[in-house]
Amino acid sequence: MFIKISDRNKEKIELVSLIDMIFILLVFFLVTSFVIKLNLQERSLYVPTPKNVLGRAQLLIQFVDENRIFWLDEEASTVVESIEENYGYLNDASLRDRILSNLTSNNIISLNQMDSKINHLISAANQDPFTNYFILIRCPNELPYFHVIDVIEKLSSTKYRNIKYGCVGGTFDDIRYCKRIYDVVEKDSKGNRRKNLRIDF
Amino acid sequence: MTFFKIKKVVLIRSVQAVFAAVFIMFVIRTYFWIRLPETNIQVSYSGQEEKLIIPPRPGIKGIEITGPQIQPLFFSVDLSRAGVHSLDFLQLQLIDPHADVKLTCTIDEQGRLLFLQKDILMEGHTEAGLMIQKALKTWIYTPYKQGTIKFWFNLPSKGRKVIIDLSGLKRKDSIPRHIPIYTGQIHLIDGLENSELQISG
Amino acid sequence: MAFKKRNNEKKGLSLPGLIDIIFLLLIFSLVTLSISQARVETKRRGDQSVEFPLPETRSTETEETGGILQTLLFQIERSDPENVQSPKIIYALFPSIKDSLNLEEAKIYAQRDSLFAPFPDNFLKMSDLAFSKTAPCGLIQWAIRKYKEDNFPKPDLANSVEIRADRNTEFRIVNFIMEQCSAYGDTIPRVVLRTLTAKESQNVY
């Protein structure tokens, strides 16, 4: 049996050039990825200006000092409600002191604790794109403003950009020596009745 | 190699290289395109009028922190209590299709339905009256309202066979005013159609 | 069975392989050239020489700044960058009508026109009224009023004032600028804080 083998020159796969090609591609991707992980670039961060109205928010982050935050969220109104029920006979100033003493002991947290709470808030925001949050950040005059930027940075890592923020100047003493702190029932934008915590300066 | 063979090879390789280059560039471009934040790649269509939407701005005149939603309370038969029995209306109709029984009951602080013999009018319909009493004695309501509640079982009626009068009920003083109390299921009568029932007050 | 013996020629330099390599090198150079050109352009456009540390952020809500001044910018820096005790100076940098000034040029104009003022050492201890009467606060109020009258006829989201400050600048100064902007209601609804952000998502070409 004769098997005629064609006499053509079979094209061999050039292994050497293939290896070279792979190395070059590798170098190419390494270089481009290195180029992309770049220097710091100057960018613009938009922050809303304050307004001379009542400061409504879902959350208050008040800088007490560089390392401590006074955190007030919706749980605070429940605490105030129970104090108002039990100590309603006190005058406004005494009631305020009692409420603030309670809130101060439970709601002044470290920066690490704040990070953890912000992460919870962000997870909640990411699960519900239709709920909008507004965070009020109050910072004392003497604190460097990069502390505020740090908080803003943490708050802006949401999937649906449904956490908004604003920062104003103010100290913890403004709250500690406020005129009055109390619960008030109001309807929200969806018509639901809520028990809100109000602080009058 | 002859000149023509080189030419052929060069042609083939150049075509291959161009395809490879285009493909690689496309992959890289897609990779970075996907990583871009959404706002950078949104294209607004022309003709859309841009409304000025000012983002929320922080207020400085006091603080109001949004609290939890106020859940309304429902005044109804408390089905979670043990020993609550329903009244079989069809059975009642079989026993006495002309039953005419009136009960004036009191709901106490714990939500129990209380009545005395003098509060029951069941002349000539004793069996039906006893059956009704046996069931109503077991009913316990959620402790949000107190006062008198009247039941009228008027089986011969072609229209409403059961009339329940709630006008004698008042909300308990211990429940804060801002919490709304709605009326839920205030009877446990099986086999009673809606068209046969009237709830007033 | 007869096989034609293959001619075991000694192969010289394999030209197709070489051609492959040349083409790949060519593509590689073209692509990296375009990247480096983009980078140079970015450097020219966006990377200002940062003479003092801006606050850093990884926030995805930042936007790229251009090299050209687009709006009124307040630059707050130390009079002596080496000395952390040196007083802070604020410069009011106005953009040109043709939008052609970069930061360095605008600062030169500001120095020429005396649109700068140092903060007093004890500005943190001053009352709000006393602070608002200092020279730098007067400059801030004047600059915002003037720029607003000339450029912001009505409320618009695009109306903003920029703040470019050393990261350790006290919040009082930033807050004062924001308050002065808020005096005009929704006309200036936002301020822009210049930050340093890592360049991640960049078009390759």
B151 beta partners: B103, B164
Distances (CA, A) of A139 to A72, B13, C111: 14, 65, 31
| Tokens 């460097």 belong to residue | A144
Q: Which chains touch A (3 or more CB pairs under 8 A)?
A: B, C
Judged by CB atoms closer than 8 Å, whether chains meet at B32 and C201 is answered as yes
The number of beta carbons lying within 10 Å of the beta carbon of residue B16 is 14
H/E stretch holding B105: strand B100-107
Judged by CB atoms closer than 8 Å, whether chains meet at A161 and C65 is answered as no
A135 lies in a domain?
Answer: yes
Judged by CB atoms closer than 8 Å, whether chains meet at A141 and C175 is answered as yes
Q: Report the C-alpha gap between C134 and C86 in whole angstroms.
A: 18
Question: How does pLDDT run across B100-110, given as a tens digit for each residue?
Answer: 999 999 998 88
A180 lies in a domain?
Answer: yes
pLDDT class for A37, splitting at 50, 70, 90?
Answer: low
Does the pLDDT value for residue B1 go beyond 60?
Answer: no
> Is A59 part of the contact surface with chain B (CB cutoff 8 Å)?
yes
Rg of the Cα atoms in chain A? 29
- A96: tokens are 């305020």
Burial class (CB in 10 A: 0-12, 13-18, 19+), A89: exposed
> Is C169 part of the contact surface with chain A (CB cutoff 8 Å)?
yes
Judged by CB atoms closer than 8 Å, whether chains meet at B40 and C23 is answered as no
Q: Report the C-alpha gap between C157 and A77 in whole angstroms.
A: 34
A136 lies in a domain?
Answer: yes
Judged by CB atoms closer than 8 Å, whether chains meet at A60 and B65 is answered as yes
Q: Report the C-alpha gap between A165 and B80 in whole angstroms.
A: 45
Judged by CB atoms closer than 8 Å, whether chains meet at B17 and C20 is answered as yes
A72 beta partners: A60
**Residues of C whose CB is below 8 A from A36:** 199-200, 202, 204
Are the CB atoms for B118 and B94 separated by under 8 Å? no
The pLDDT assigned to A23 comes to 77
- The DSSP code for A151 is H
Q: How many separate domains does chain A show?
A: 1
- pLDDT beneath 70: ranges in chain C: 1-14, 34-51, 59-60, 198-205
> Of the ranges A74-88, B82-96, B152-166, C187-201, which one carries the lowest mean pLDDT score?
C187-201
Out of C23, C189, C201, name the one closest to residue B54 (CB): C189
The pLDDT assigned to C28 comes to 73
The pLDDT assigned to C65 comes to 72
pTM for the structure as a whole: 0.70
Distances (CA, A) of B53 to A157, C151, C158, C189: 22, 20, 11, 10
A126 lies in a domain?
Answer: yes
A120 lies in a domain?
Answer: yes
Percentage of the residues of chain A whose pLDDT score is greater than 70: 88
Are the CB atoms for B199 and B75 separated by under 8 Å? no
How much is the ipTM here?
A: 0.79
| Tokens 């949401």 belong to residue | A158
Does the pLDDT value for residue B148 go beyond 90?
Answer: yes
Of all residues in chain A, the one with the smallest CA distance to C58 is A153
Judged by CB atoms closer than 8 Å, whether chains meet at B57 and A48 is answered as yes
Does the pLDDT value for residue B12 go beyond 90?
Answer: no
**Residues of B whose CB is below 8 A from C205:** 29
The pLDDT assigned to C36 comes to 62
The pLDDT assigned to B29 comes to 77
A184 lies in a domain?
Answer: yes
- In this structure, the strands spanning B145-154 and B100-107 are antiparallel
A94 lies in a domain?
Answer: yes
Mutate to test the interface with A, among B10, B60, B63 (most CBs of A within 10 A): B63
Does the pLDDT value for residue B182 go beyond 80?
Answer: yes
Size of interface A-C (CB pairs under 8 A): 196
A178 lies in a domain?
Answer: yes
Judged by CB atoms closer than 8 Å, whether chains meet at B63 and A60 is answered as yes
- In this structure, the strands spanning B113-114 and B100-107 are antiparallel
**How far away is chain A from the Cα of B28, in angstroms, using its nearest Cα?**
9
Q: Beta strands of chain A (E only): which ranges? A: 40-48, 55-57, 59-63, 68-72, 108-110, 133-139, 163-169, 180-187, 193-200
Out of C157, C200, C202, name the one closest to residue B54 (CB): C157
Out of A72, A137, A201, name the one closest to residue B65 (CB): A72
Which residues constitute the domain of residue A140?
A: 62-200
